[in-house]
Chains A and B, each alone.
Chain A
Amino acid sequence: MTTPLVLGATRGQSAVVLEATDLRRTFSVGSRLRPTHVSAVDGVSLQLRAGETLGVVGESGCGKSTLARMLVGLEKPDGGSLRYRGEDVTAGRLRDRRLLRRGVQMIFQDPYTSLDPRMTVGDIIAEPLAATRTLTGAKRRERVAELLDLVGLSPGMTSRFPHQFSGGQRQRIGIARALALEPDVLIADEPVSALDVSVQAQVINLLGDLQKRLGVSVLFIAHDLSVVRHIADRVAVMYLGRIAEVGDTATVYDTPAHPYTQALLSATPAVDRADRGRLARRRVLTGEPPSPANPPTGCRFNPRCWLATDVCRTEVPQLRELPGGSGRLVASHHAEQALAAPVV
């Protein structure tokens, strides 16, 4: 990947808030003497525009969470660059981190482990304010009450502890904490997957509502495709550390152009009894997902792809726009062929 791709630049209606270019992250695992390198994220470029929701989907191990951690500055990229409001914050210097923390906040997956059990809810939500020396005393308490109200909890709950709340309420507390510094961007890493079905809907609605009211951009990471379809304006599909396809939600879901997207969508059970038997008609992927410790050469999807040819085994497909294709980008040598033969 030498030419950094500007995703969706053709339709630049709102300003780009967060921009990742060719981000890479490799982990060393195993013995210190003979370490194995796991390529978790390999050249991911993304743009998050003001006020939009970008969904990121993919199976476990595809690098979604590593990407999220790099975007909030919890993980330092090995290569590529990260720009927040035009400022390069890749290096992770103190002032970069300060800037990023004010503007980009994270909502974690597990509301049971992401809140300190020994802190009161008031202290948890006020912590970002305290850490950045924002506001003081009474003003801070006022802000906490305001935030609790914003996420639909009673402002009188500040002196309670996390264990006194249910999973859904804890996730609301996590969201209130993320909003404390009025960030421009929320990175939500599987924010509803640990919650009960009836509670998931509450949190999804809350995120949608907050976005409308505050105009915050959201990067929504999930493995649940129906949730992403519901909430996201654009979707990026990841496979083994790379973006396979990115585009408007409707375009990607209705006319997937990457073979992997097609297989993934066809394996998702529909919540409509009339559609029963859908799974039997799905595109079956042969083999297991390959390990990121030893990724295949060329297109990383080639060993499981039914359209794979020699070129797929040698050349890495770049993200490209299809002729006449509504700003959607796809990284496949055979996207035209895939598009012409939809699955299910």
Chain B
Amino acid sequence: MNQHPTRTIASVSAAGVVTLVSTTALADAEPVLDREAYELAASQEGFVAARREDMEQVNGGALMLIAYALFWVMVVTWVALLARRAALISNQLVDVRRQLTDLDDRLDELERSAP
């Protein structure tokens, strides 16, 4: 139980007044960095939809360059994958052909030696 309510109320009120006065003083002292924008905002009386040209400007040149770069990356990657597969299958063909030639030779020997 608070034994000195009047003193508490007075203390809280005093703190509130000091805070209010000091923040107001600070706000007044804060310099406005962009005076033009500040005045524009201050004079604004309503919200209006932006025009297309006022909206976010996207860098079209960068997007176009990314598109063409990705195109070339995809094509070169595709060609590299095809070349790798072609080299692999080419090696496999050489290997299988060699095995076939060996087997043909063995077959010939076996057929000659067969009674």
Does chain A bind chain B?
no
Give A contacts to B, CB under 8 Å.
none
